[in-house]
Amino acid sequence: MVRFMNVNKSYGKLNVIEQLNFDVAEGEMVSIIGPSGSGKTTVLRTLMTLETINDGVIYVEGKPLTHMAKGGALVPADERYLRRMRTSIGMCFQSFNLFPHMTALQNCMEGPVQVLGLSKKEARERSEELLHMVGMIDKRDQHPSRLSGGQQQRVAIARALAMRPKVMLFDEVTSALDPEVIGEVTNVIRKLVTEHNLTMLMVTHQMGFARDISDRVCFFFGGKIEEQGTPSELFGNPQRERTKQFLSAVKEAI
């Protein structure tokens, strides 16, 4: 579903992603863990086409995301092509970024109507179904300022899903939440894993959660995958020194 092929990304002289080769299969849930600054967010942002890459190609469903075929060669994608490809990727961040002047329902309907060209009726049906799924249907007419952090994040997840993305990206979606509402958001993600066959990439600091729901866990270090494996391999029997150090440091922090 997703393939990074020899991807490099730098900011000036700083190499943030180095020769990254990384595949995610259809329906797979992959967690990305690693120290701050190791390039986790950048990987998601390049996939969301919010960042341009310096070298390599990213494919989604076998189609180049960052490049398009022209005259038998791959050339950097133009804005129109990117806009079309971008609709296959959904993303939720730490900060919810809901449109403040719109209700929960309007937030979910906006993309499907404006970007996908759905009728209001279709967009409303789809959005209500998703708000129901995330347990927010009763709050559909509330503005974000009237909702708690956990509730806003659940609306943000519904809003991203309303675009019917093929791949969902989550970047520390529980980091800004009060501890007592983290569960309501992780439960929605858990539901997506068990009931919907969505391809997902999740950056998280919640090791227990990653261990619980992932098919695979990747430990990033210095813009590379230092080690990856099933949750029991990576958490239960890490091979690399850096992985061991990181895991024992986060364990101490808990």
Ligand X SMILES: Nc1ncnc2c1ncn2[C@@H]1O[C@H](COP(=O)(O)OP(=O)(O)O)[C@@H](O)[C@H]1O
Instruction: Decide whether 2 or 169 has the Cβ nearer to Mg ion.
Output: 169
Tell me the window of 40-48, 90-98, 102-110, 178-186 that interacts with ligand X (CB under 6 A). Answer: 40-48
**Alpha-carbon distance values, 204 to 31, 70, 208, 220 (Å):** 7, 38, 10, 12
Of the candidates 5, 18, 19, 37, which one interacts with ligand X according to CB under 6 A? Answer: 37
Transcribe 61-91 into DSSP letters.
TTEESSEEEETTEEEEPPHHHHHHHHTTEEE
**Alpha-carbon distance values, 55 to 16, 71, 104 (Å):** 12, 20, 39
Sign of the CA dihedral 235, 240, 245, 250? negative
Compute the least distance from the CB of residue 170 to ligand X, in Å.
12
Number of residues that bind ligand X (CB under 6 A): 11
Instruction: Decide whether 164 or 205 has the Cβ nearer to ligand X.
Output: 205
99, interface contact from Mg ion, ligand X, none, CB < 5-8 Å by kind: none
Instruction: Decide whether 123 or 177 has the Cβ nearer to ligand X.
Output: 177
What three-state secondary structure class fits 216? Answer: strand
Compute the least distance from the CB of residue 40 to Mg ion, in Å.
5
Instruction: Decide whether 143 or 205 has the Cβ nearer to ligand X.
Output: 205
**Under the rule (CB under 6 A), what is the footprint of ligand X?**
11, 14, 16, 34, 36-42
